[in-house]
């Protein structure tokens, strides 16, 4: 009895399976790669397809779901719904077995594990895909300016690469240079990495026509990325010089300042000389790599009159030392009050003369005004005594200024 019942149940289940298979017309098979590599910034397809015994599939029985780390990002169920407009699926191709996920403007953050799940009728199957995002590096040579026979640093900026691992080499005419440094990479806001690399060389005259290169190897590159360049040699620049000082007073110490600027390279020598003999420099203050100030404290005495003080500069750009000299001319400090008094008296007399001439000019103008008023008055009185209208008009025309009749 139990065997008969079991046989009956199996027959019913078999008929049900045959019925469902007749509805779906297929045994479902989902196909997707284990790993898919894409480049940052591109529009990509994460491939996922499925097979049925018969196409096109019935959209009413078909469901496609995409998940990323367990989070549902897209669903196709006779229509597409998504949590991000960058994700999409071709609803026209879905019934024909194409379940690929489209991702626009791919970013580093899009990398990771994705799951493609296809359900058709009562059957379902899923496949997991690892999306690996890569971004190729970019090279910018930030320093190729060198000084001949002097230790110089070549520098390059490497940006925009992902993943982090990077191999850097510097070359001279194809030969690998030693002493390469690569700084620890930094993570940029877009998820990519950036770093700088340097190599120290001592360029000679023979290096002027040689080709220097920086070569990168990275996961995103099928062939190494290489940037070639030639060295730029700095031309030595001669310095300028100027001595600043105050008037020299007997037994009054002052600090003379020799300012030197505009030179290249940085190495320079500055010295002070008094009547041809070197004296000790008080202080040398470097303002920057191409400017400095050298000071010298000097106490004039009676014997200092007529002496020469010189600031002497030696530099690679000079064929001979650059010299600026000034002669000591003592000023008697006792004359200072007399000079001040004389200056004050001179200013006073100049002001007095200006006031005198201004007042005289005002008096002269006032006298002219009075004479003009008297003249006008007399002419106006004359016009009143004439009864002839024509005569009055003629008199008025000849006057220097018009007058009113009462």
Residue with the larger pLDDT of the pair 339 and 52? 52
Q: What is the CATH number of the domain that holds 209?
A: 2.60.40.10
The answer to whether residue 62 is domain-embedded is yes
pLDDT band at residue 343 using 50, 70 and 90 as cut-offs: low
Report if pTM > 0.75: no
Q: 339 versus 266: which is more confidently predicted? A: 266
In a domain, 287, yes or no: yes
Q: Are strands 283-288 and 80-82 parallel, antiparallel or unpaired?
A: unpaired
Q: Are residues 298 and 389 in the same domain?
A: no
Give the β-pairing of 35-39 and 71-76: unpaired
Q: Lowest-pLDDT range, 36-45, 47-56, 145-154, 375-384?
A: 375-384
Q: Is there a single domain that holds both residue 222 and residue 171?
A: yes
pLDDT at 240 over 80: yes
Residue 230 has pLDDT above 80, yes or no: yes
Using DSSP, state whether 213 is helix, strand or coil: strand
**Domain hosting residue 259, numbered range:** 240-331
Quick check: is 406 in a domain?
A: no
Instruction: Report the candidate in 26, 58, 217, 205 with the shortest Cα–Cα distance to residue 125.
Output: 26
Residue 3 lies in a domain: no
Cα dihedral 52, 56, 58, 61 sign: positive
CA distance readout (Å), 212 to 140, 180, 202, 230, 271: 14, 13, 13, 6, 40
The answer to whether position 261 is within a domain reads: yes
Give yes or no for residue 2 having a pLDDT over 50. Answer: yes
The top-scoring range by mean pLDDT among 10-24, 292-306, 392-406 is: 292-306
Higher pLDDT, 221 or 264: 221
Are 146 and 220 found together in one domain? yes
Residue 372 confidence (pLDDT) above 50: yes
Tally of domains within the chain = 4
């Amino acid at each position: 009895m139990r065997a008969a019942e079991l046989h009956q149940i199996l027959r019913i289940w078999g008929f049900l399976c045959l019925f469902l298979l007749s509805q779906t017309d297929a045994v479902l098979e989902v196909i997707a790669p284990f790993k898919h590599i894409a480049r940052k910034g591109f529009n990509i397809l994460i491939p996922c397809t499925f097979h049925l015994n018969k196409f096109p599939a019935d959209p009413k029985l078909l469901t496609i779901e995409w998940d990323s780390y367990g989070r549902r990002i897209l669903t196709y169920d006779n229509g597409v719904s998504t949590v991000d407009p960058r994700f999409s699926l071709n609803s026209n191709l879905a019934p024909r077995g194409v379940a690929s996920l489209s991702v626009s403007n791919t970013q580093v953050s899009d990398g990771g594990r994705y799951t493609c799940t296809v359900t058709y009728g009562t059957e379902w199957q899923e496949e997991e895909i690892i999306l690996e995002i890569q971004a190729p590096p970019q090279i910018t040579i930030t320093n190729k300016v060198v000084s001949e026979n002097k230790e110089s640093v070549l520098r390059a900026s490497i940006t925009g690469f992902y993943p982090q691992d990077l191999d850097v080499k510097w070359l001279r005419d194809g030969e690998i240079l030693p002493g390469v440094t690569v700084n620890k990479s930094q993570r940029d806001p877009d998820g990519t990495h950036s770093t700088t690399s340097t190599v120290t060389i001592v360029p000679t005259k023979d290096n002027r026509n040689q080709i220097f290169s920086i070569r990168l190897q990275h996961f995103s590159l099928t062939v190494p990325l290489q940037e070639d360049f030639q060295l730029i040699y700095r031309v030595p620049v001669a310095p300028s010089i100027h001595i600043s000082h105050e008037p020299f007073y007997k037994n009054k110490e002052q600090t003379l300042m020799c300012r030197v600027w505009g030179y290249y390279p940085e190495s320079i020598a500055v010295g002070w000389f008094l009547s041809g003999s070197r004296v000790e420099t008080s202080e040398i203050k470097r303002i920057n790599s191409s400017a400095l100030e050298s000071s010298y404290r000097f106490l004039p005495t009676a014997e200092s009159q007529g002496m020469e003080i010189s600031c002497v500069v030696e530099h690679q750009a000079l064929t001979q030392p650059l010299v600026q000299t000034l002669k000591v001319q003592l000023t008697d400090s006792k004359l200072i009050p007399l000079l001040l008094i004389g200056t004050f008296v001179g200013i006073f007399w100049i002001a007095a003369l200006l006031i005198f001439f201004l007042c005289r000019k005002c008096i002269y103008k006032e006298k002219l005004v009075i004479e003009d008023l008297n003249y006008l008055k007399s002419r106006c009185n004359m016009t009143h005594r004439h009864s002839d209208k024509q005569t009055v008009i003629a008199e008025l025309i000849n006057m220097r200024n018009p007058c009113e009749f009462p």
